[in-house]
Structure 1
Amino acid sequence: MFLVFLLLFLNPLPYAFALNQEGLYLLQVRQSLSDPTNALSSWNRRDDTPCNWQGISCHSPTSRVQSVDLSDFQLVGPFPLFLCRLPYLRSISLANNSINSSLPLDISTCQNLTTLDLSQNLLVGSLPLSLPNIPTLENLILYGNNFSGEIPATFGQFQRLRCLNLAGNLLDATIPAILGNISTLKELDLAYNPFSPSHIPSELGNLTNLEQLFLAGCNLVGQIPSSFGRLVSLRNLDFSLNQLSGSIPSSISQLKSIEQIELYNNSLSGELPLNMGNLTTLKRFDAAMNELTGTIPTGLCGLQLESLNLYNNRLEGTLPESITVSKKLQELKLFNNKLSGPLPSQLGVNSPLQSLDVSYNQFSGEIPENLCAKGQLGDIILIFNSFSGEIPESLGKCQSLGRVRFKHNRFSGRVPDGFWGLPRVFLLELAENSFSGEISKSISSAHNLSILSISNNRFSGSLPDEIGSLETLVEMSASGNEFTGHIPLSLVKLKQLVRLDLSENEIDGRIPEGIKECMSLNELNLANNRLSGSIPGDIGSLPVLNYLDLSSNSFSGKVPIELQNLKLNVFNLSNNQLSGELPPFYAKENYKNSFLGNPGLCGDLEGLCPKISRSKNQTNMWILRSIFVLAGLVFVVGVVWFFMKYRSFKKNKKRATVTKWRSFHKIGFSEYEIADCLKEENVIGSGGSGKVYKVVLSNGDAVAVKKLSGVKKEDSLSAADMERDEFETEVEMLGKIRHKNIVRLWCCCITGDDKLLVYEYMPNGSLGDLLHSSKGGLLDWPTRYKIALDAAEGLSYLHHDCVPPIVHRDVKSNNILLDHEFGARVADFGVAKIVKGVGKGAESMSVIAGSCGYIAPEYAYTLRVNEKSDIYSFGVVILELVTGKPPTDPEFGEKDMVKWVCATYNQKGVDQVIDPRLDSTYKEEICRVLDIGILCTDALPINRLSMRKVVKLLQEAGGENKLKANQDGNLSPYYCYYEEASDQASLV
């Protein structure tokens, strides 16, 4: 008997600790779902209750399951209805998985639920009519799915609902007025659904408990209902990206709790309500890109205001002094209006002002002394106004300044010494004013300066040698001043210099020896100075020179024969003291105007040189020389004729069909040299539109040639149109763009049915090919960081500095090319799109452009595109750089890169996300960049950063003075999912 008892004690029967019924139900849930990452491995029959299982929370006294949170588990399958058999279940969260199919009609059997969160899944079909039959439901969160059809009328019957979030679906009916019956509602988010054009239901004004109302991008028309004045608890109101018209109702002043109002990108008109001063809690007001008139109400600029965006309207009058009262004002953007008068003298005294843009107005007066009093001013843009006076000395101490644009005003006096050497300034634009004095030697401290534009002022003195220390300088425009002295020898050290314009000054001396070291120089304009000596033959060695103007100087000697190596769109050596014979290439009538006003020049151009009498011996010598030349020509012509006849059956068609040739930079090769090298052994890449060849030219240089193959006669017209559009789009885009991080298009041509685009050759290929090959380990973190920053600056230029802005539409790692120093260039603009403007409403496309894994969710299902689509794609590129993984990978299961990163980050920590090949000493910096990528890939476009903000955050992430996003030094993985749009919108 004792032995039997002992055996029972040591070997308890399996049923001694049997799993309870709730656990059995949950095992049925596990069985109905695919679990590729084995996230539910802790769910097993060995436990008596499921309370210790991953994602399960129980009520401690009773051990009853109250909450099931399986968010970010990468689960796949239909909604597990067995969850509704848990009698005490209060909360279900399956967010950010791949729950598919449609929601079952009997989901209402989950009778005790208070929260149902199925956001960011793959659910389709209609919204279940029965959801309001769950009497306890308080939070219904279904954003980021593919629900279609209408919002059921039964949704007006919810009894306790506090949050209804249906954003980012495919709902295409209208917003039902019946939603105004849900009196308990505190958050209503229907943004980014392709609703039919409709008015905002006035009945929504009955929701007096409402705190959040998001209706952005809902195809709304008509006026904002005056009934919204009853929403006294409302904190966030977003009607942006619609087609609303009429005036802003005065009843908006009754929103006593409002903190944020977003009305940008509509067609609102009329004046801003004068009683908006009653909105004492208002932090952000954005009504940009409308048709508003009148003045800015004095009361609008309240104590709590952090951001005021009213650009692209028709506002008049002055900027109220009350704007200086706010102690939180960070952003003030009023450009493209008709505002006048001076800026308030105390602007910046009380508030941490970061961005000021009042360009294209009629402002006058001086720059306020204390704009940078809090030391955070990054952008100050005052172009095309009537400002006057001097630059305050205090701005010369503003170390945070990055972008300074004062062009086309009436400024005068000396520029403070410190202003020349601000360490973070990358754009310094002082052109078209009346500034005087010299460029300070302190400019050597401007280590980040890329563009120095000071043309058409009264600057004088010599150009300081310290300019040669600005390694990042891309453009220097200093024409129309009173500069004297020599061109600094140090200028030849500027390897990235693309444009140098010193025309219309009083500079003397010679062109510095070693000018050939400026390998990136595309434009050299030294016209109308006092330069002398000979023209250096080195200029002919500049590989990309496209514009050369040395006219109206005192250059002497011969025209260097090396200049005929150049193919120039602008070439002017007129009005100098040049002599001798012209290089044969330029001894043509079409170059005559390039050499006028040089009495000593000889050549065969009629009227260029004075006639010279010849002696008899000279005449005989000339006749004899002519005979030899003629005989030689006959021989050469005969050989060429024979050769051409021999090869005509192979080459005649190709050469005869080079019908169009256009260059955008200096090119030292012909169209036939390119066409003859398009052989299969030279292919370095291929895609849907054609192949890419590496062509090594006769001079040893290499170029990349993209060949867009023509469509056959039997192909459809739409295919031909698409191919032509891609060619013309790329030519139109890249032919005008000049930026160090955008790939250069040398030229283009058409040969028969083929269209050729000739680019600079990138020896390290594409980022995608290198990163995801066996050589990926060669890309250490500093190199990856540099690539991310370079590409971000290129995209920022497209979005913010091109007029009109450009959306790339196919940002991916394979379209980021790397030069010999791993500098990044954004490439492939075949599907790029010129848009109305950054922040404007998304434009509809006929087809999806982009690549799998990079396409923004809203673009994929709405075909509407704006710059936010590029930002999402670039965020995926950042995640590639951090993880070392491609955007689609078998490890992700049915998820994409974004969902995998967020799930792994939240569940396993950042170490499981970061590429193990990276040095752990850079972990803090990598985490910062990772968080930027997560912000860029937010499911809702409004929450994504602008490219300008991305550049700024990347610079801070890699710099010595890094901003901390939270107390731990990293952004929280909270940003992997959407909780409250207002918190993230402030980051855009």
Structure 2
Amino acid sequence: MGSAIWFLSLHVFIQIYTIVATTDAGDSTALRSLWNEWKNVPPSWGSGDPCDDGWVGIGCTGLRVTSITLPSMNLVGGLSGDISTLSELQQLDLSYNKGLTGSLPSSIGNLKKLTNLILVGCGFIGPIPDTIGSLLLLRFLSLNSNGFTGHIPPSIGNLSNLYWLDLADNQLEGPIPVSNGSTPGLDMLINTGHFHFGKNKLYGQIPSQLFSSEMTLIHVLFESNQLSGTLPSTLGLVKTLEVVRFDNNSLNGRLPLNLNNLTSVQDLFLSNNVLTGPLPDLTGLNSLNTLYLSNNSFDSSDFPSWLAALPSLTTLMMEHTQLQGQVPATFFTLSNLQTVVLKHNQLNGTLNIGPGVSNQLQMIDLQTNLISGFNSAGTYTFDIILVGNPVCDETGATNTYCTLPPSNSLPLYSTPPKNCQPNSCSSGQISSPTCRCAYPYTGTLQFRGFFFSDLRNRTPYETLEQSLMQFFQSHQVPVDTVSLSNPRMDSFEYLLVNLSVFPFGPNSFNRTGISMIAFAFSNQSFKPPPEFFGPYVFHGDTYEQFSDEPASSKKSSIAIIGAVAGASVLFLLLLLAGIYGYRQRKRAERATKGNNPFAHWDSKKSSGNIPQLKGARCFSFEELKKYTNNFSEANDIGSGGYGKVYRGTLPTGELVAIKRAQQGSMQGGLEFKTEIELLSRVHHKNVVSLLGFCFEQGEQMLIYEYVPNGSLSDSLSGKSGIRVDWTRRLKIALGAARGLAYLHELANPPIIHRDIKSTNILLDERLNAKVSDFGLSKPMGDSEKGHVTTQVKGTMGYLDPEYYMTQQLTEKSDVYSFGVLMLEIITARRPIERGKYIVREVRMSMVKTKSLYNLQEILDPTIGLSTTPKGLEKFVDLAMSCVAESGADRPTMGEVVKEIESIMQLAGMNPNAESASTSATYEDATKGASLHPYSDESFAYSGALPASKIEPH
């Protein structure tokens, strides 16, 4: 027993010494205060050092705690005011912990470096402290789905950097605060993209001052409040708006006539108010998908002719709006139309369903109108409901349109098994789509905006599943499959979909895995397919099957410490012995590390064995601090899911780009190992060069050559200000093709890039293309000739459909992605833009017998289309051969290189000539802007950007 006490004493005091020696003492004290305040903390908490020993959810920079991310940890307790002592804290995410209750301490305003404050779906109550307005660096403020009461703090108007503001689904009341000279207000948030205030108790008029033409708002959501008065005409000045919801309020008066200025709006919800006056003409809203105007008191009017001029309209809800007259047959020919609900109006005459009706149409509901006849040009497959009209009042009217369609009580969609038979699972486990019994992480996706209304259509859900899996795989989240089920509409006109996420490998997630999944939703890192879905919020369920070892009892720990506290002299001796042993161990580790930079490589955390290097230099952490001026903000040139990228200057004067991993990032070990192994052995002028790496002091950094002119995506979009005409685009395409052909045919072993896209093609000072970002790449061993079977990874829009269907990766998968890239080069369009896939658009529009193959409307006019660019049609032919459905029908990259060289000769260019001029001679519309390729855009999908860097829509 005595020896056991000695051992415990030694452990306790060495632990105390280690904390003092590493994590900042104040930060350590604050974390231990939270540990004492909360129940169900992760087992790693309470022992060892928070930073050095990796407490789950704690991220550190040097000795300081910079992030606390603990979503869905089943935490119970309150938020201690001691958290305010974490003066370097930048991110706090405690979402989906319903057991976290009480009020937010006003001292939270002392966290001056906080950029993300995210407390979605907790149990916090009381007023939101006014001190929150002093967090001037705040980018994300998400306090939705709690029980907050009182008024919206006007001080939020001081947060000039705020991008995301979500206070929805609380009990907030009072008027919308605007500035008055001495008091700030929401009208000052001109850089904010998101106003989410739905499901509160806000009252009073909407101040006209709230909106202005300076604003960059994307979503304005004030649904289900108690707002009154008129909708201000200043709303029509915010031309960036995409989703507008003021439904379920008490708004009255006329709608502003300038609503048709909102040409980017996709969802417009104004139903369930007391609006009066004439309907405004919405002609010109060519992006409008969903229009909800039901249950208002508009002036009686004929069916508006402008409705037939809304090309994107999918859903029209105008129940109880005093419409009269006849619905024109041409309205039903809108190509995207799915649902029309015009119940309880005075529509009359004969309903005509002519030829050319939308093939997406699912329902026309005209119950309780004055329709006296019905004509159809032929058979139809959608529901027509005319119950309560004179046409159905005749005795014996038995037509199907005179009866209500049967209600379908079965779920509208559920992810089917993937070619297997579901298992009968026990102990609360569930059979996954791959028929494995496991404990999934579950929750509900609540879409506040969506661009379809046919809930029976499988395509949106299948696309959402694919998007989720691509996200999890590309961010290395340990997910095997996802399952969606039971899509439904609730009383607030939200689309709800149940989500189950199944673990990869074991049958349950550990806490880190759950935190990674929940973090993706709470921080809006995951973005659903934009062609179907708009703003969303996730409601995570409690997860109780963590695979981690259970935490030992705090009480027993306290008892043990108390039992040994009396032996203070003995403790002191043991402490001195521990310190001596600790220093000796550290000295030995430093000596070992000097000879082996990967002495501390953890094969479990870092995805496999030690990297096998070939010629990359090992830089010390102190060297890189010096080269970047201590990683100063002035040298910060970009961010991604991996972390930040800094510009550095070597003693020789050479510029380098230093990619520094962020602790707790969703990428890390695997990408670090893949890039360091592959890039250390490839050398080609069209492949970005890796100069070295750093792996010490808990840091993972990669050092690349500095490529000054951004990505190809930047130039095509105009972001970089560099004009790329037809000849320069050919040269860039050739350079990228040569780099990729080298990887396939000359690298040893051959390499499949797996993520070819315009953001991964960098341009040097002479606009030479360089292939970059090898985090997803796959070397092909001798035993894998032909193909390698692997999990699907890549970027939506560029992904080879054959690879996606078979999971068999070949060099031809890169060829497909390169073909998409070629189409992007000539169109300057993203592969998927507003639901349109560029490959399909080109394929459908091509007419080879016409000039420019009839692609004038798709081609980028800055190429110069007044005269046919020489070789463009051959370039299109080559691109389309690269995106052939079967990999066997696609050329090799070597063949692609030869064909582009031939096209360049046809255009009078020498494919082997160096560029004669630098980018400095080109048009530059953004003098002084940061054009570096390692910026937000470069990491937009292959790495989850921190919320402060990428703007979710």
> Which range, TM-score by smaller chain?
0.3 to 0.5
Given the two structures, how large is their TM-score scaled by the length of structure 2? Answer: 0.45
Using CA pairs below 8 Å that are at least 6 residues apart, which structure has the higher relative contact order? 2
Structure number with bigger Rg: 1
Given the two structures, how large is their TM-score scaled by the length of structure 1? Answer: 0.43
